[in-house]
Chains A and B, each alone.
Chain A
C-alpha cells in the first residue's frame, strides 16, 4: 500500500464480559490506528483492557462469554472484521493479521514439532503442499534468527529456550506476511538480554516486511525503545494518545505521569521510584466520571463528570479534564 491510510483502524471498540452481575463492559469506545511500517504501543497496568481490545479485534474472545458492541469497527485494510463470519474471519487471521503472546512457554503446542506448527498456518492459508510448507518453515525459522533451522524444524517446543520459542512464535505469525502483527507483551516473560534481541527482531520484521505492529506492554521502557506512537489505557478506556517523544517529555494525563514516575531509569536523579497507590478497579466498580480519579493526586470535584478524549496539542490527546490547569512532569531526555 502506498497511501498513508492506516492498515488497521479500530474505532469505538466496546467489549462486555458475562459476569454474575450480568454483562459488564470491560473495554469502552477504544479507538486506535496503525500505519504500515509503524509500531503502535498500547500501555497500561493489568486490567486496563489492552489485551482484551486486541483479542476482540482478532475475534479471539469466547463468543459465549463476551460480546463486542455493534457500534465497534475494526477495519483491516478496509475490511471491517466485526462484520465477517467466523469462516471469513478465520481466513483473515494468520494471513492478514497475526498475533504473538506473552507466554512463549505455553503458547506453543507441546505435542507437535516446531516445523509442524509453523507450516500449519502456511498450509491453511496458501494451500501449498506439506513439503513446500516445510521448506517455507525452515526459511522462516532462519529469518527470525534461529540457528540451524533445518534441525530445529524437527524439534519439539520443550527443547527450546523461552527466547527461541518466542522467535518460533514470530516465525509462525509472519509466515503469511500479514499486514498487521499484534504483539501481546511478547517480552515480559523473557530475560532482559533476550528481551532486547526479540525487540530487535520485531523492528527488523517491521522494516523487512513492512509490518504494522501493535505492541501491548506495561513497560514504558519498551515503548520508548520500539514504538512510534503510544496509546495509554486505563480501566478499559484510552486516557492519552500521542507520539512517543511527546508523551515522555510532556505527559498530558496524571496516569501517564504516574507510569513515567514508576519507570526505572539509569542515571535517574530521583532516589526512589514513584508508585501509583491502589490498583485498577474491577470492571463492575469502574467510577462514573474519570476512572483514574480515586487514585489521582490532582483530582477535584470536576473529575466526577464524564471525561472525553480531546486534543491538547498537535497530535496529542488527553482525557484529563484538568489539563491545562495542572502541570505534569515528564522525562527530559
Chain B
C-alpha cells in the first residue's frame, strides 16, 4: 500500500465542487502536448455531456439566454419609453406603474434597465469581438512561426497584461475621445493578449503533435493546417476564455461608462445608470441598486458559465 492511502474513494462525490471553484479561476489551462485531441465528433459530444452535468453552469447559460432575450425584446417588454421624462414623479418608489421606481428625471427604471442591458451586453460582445479579431491571428502567427515574431508579440502581450487595463483604456480614450465604441475598442485591444497567449500555447502544443508534422511535410499550406487542426483544438479553451472575457468586458464597460468615458447621454448602459444612482444617492438609496445588481449578476453568470465549461474540458477525465 502506498504512502498515500488516504481515503480517495470519498472524493468523486464532492470533487465537482472542487473543480468549479478551482481557484486559478481565470486562467485557462492550455492543452498539453500529449493528449491533444481533436474535438470533433465524439470528443466534442463528450464535452457537451460533461458540461450538462455542471448544473450551476447550465443554469447560468439558461439565465444568460433569458437575459439576452429580454434585452433583445426590450421594446416589447418595456412598460414605458426609457427616455420619457416625467418631472411630476422624479425618484418615485416602486409601484404597480413603475416596477423599479423612477430616476431623477422621472424615467422608468425598469424600462431603462432593459434598454441599458442591450447596450451593456452589446458593448461586451463588441469588446470580445475586437479581442478575438486581434488575439487569434496574432496568437496563430506567434505560435506557428515562433522566432522573432513570437518574441515581439509575446513581449507586447505580457507587457499589456502586466499593466492596469482600466488605466490604459482611460488613457486611450483620452487620446481618441470618449464614446462607447472607442471605449470598447480600447477594452478589446487590452484583452487581446489573453487570446494571444491561449492560441499561441495551443498552436505550439499541436505543432509538436505527430500528425501535424506529417501534414507539414506533406506540404499542406499553413492556413489549412491552422483551420483544420489548430482551431478545432483551440476552440474549447477559447470558449472558456471568451466567457470570462465577456464578464470582464462588462465590468470594464460599466467602469468606463460610470466615469462618463463610455456611453454618452441620452443612451444609457448599466454603468451610466449606476452613476445616476450614485449622483442621487443622498436622495434615493434605491436607484443605484438595480443597475449594480444587474452588472454583478451578469458577470457572475459569465464566470459560472466559464467555470463549468472549464470543468467540462478539464483533463482529469481524459487520461
A and B touch in the complex (CB under 8 A): yes
Q: How many residues of B contact A (CB 8 A)?
A: 10
| Complex contacts, A49 vs chain B, CB 8 Å | 1, 5
A24 beta carbon closer than 8 Å to chain B: yes
| Complex contacts, A21 vs chain B, CB 8 Å | 9
Decide if A24 touches B9 in the complex (CB within 8 Å). yes
Choose one: A17, A48, A62, A284; the contact of B1 (CB below 8 Å): A48
| Complex contacts, B1 vs chain A, CB 8 Å | 44-52
Q: How many angstroms between the C-alpha atoms of A21 and B6 in the bound complex? A: 16
Q: How many angstroms between the C-alpha atoms of A303 and B226 in the bound complex? A: 63
Interface digits, B1-30 against A, CB 8 Å rule (1 contact, 0 not)?
A: 111011101101100000000000000000
Q: State the Cβ distance, A68 to closest chain B Cβ, in Å.
A: 13
Decide if B3 touches A103 in the complex (CB within 8 Å). yes
How many A-B pairs have beta carbons closer than 8 Å: the answer is: 47
* Interface band, chain A: 20 to 34
Decide if A52 touches B5 in the complex (CB within 8 Å). yes
| Complex contacts, A283 vs chain B, CB 8 Å | 9
Interface digits, A100-117 against B, CB 8 Å rule (1 contact, 0 not)?
A: 011100000000000000
Among B2, B3, B6, B13, the most chain A Cβ lie within 10 Å of the Cβ of B3
Choose one: A66, A184, A185; the contact of B7 (CB below 8 Å): A66
Decide if B3 touches A19 in the complex (CB within 8 Å). no
Q: How many angstroms between the C-alpha atoms of A50 and B10 in the bound complex? A: 20
Among B1, B5, B6, B10, the most chain A Cβ lie within 10 Å of the Cβ of B1
Choose one: B5, B7, B10, B12; the contact of A51 (CB below 8 Å): B5
Decide if A102 touches B6 in the complex (CB within 8 Å). no
A273 beta carbon closer than 8 Å to chain B: no
Choose one: B3, B6, B9; the contact of A62 (CB below 8 Å): B6
A20 beta carbon closer than 8 Å to chain B: yes
B10's nearest neighbour on chain A, judged by CB, is: A18
Taking CB atoms and an 8 Å cut-off, the chain A residues in 1-34 that contact chain B are 17-21, 24, 26
Closest 8 CB pairs of A and B: A19-B9, A17-B7, A18-B10, A65-B7, A102-B3, A51-B1, A46-B1, A52-B5
Q: Interface residues, chain B, CB within 8 Å of chain A?
A: 1-3, 5-7, 9-10, 12-13
Sample of 12 A–B contacts (CB below 8 Å)? A18-B9, A19-B7, A21-B9, A46-B1, A49-B5, A62-B6, A62-B7, A65-B10, A66-B7, A102-B2, A102-B3, A184-B3
| Besides A19-B9, A24-B9, A55-B5, 9 other A-B contacts (C-beta < 8 A) | A17-B7, A17-B10, A18-B9, A49-B1, A49-B5, A52-B1, A65-B7, A184-B3, A284-B9
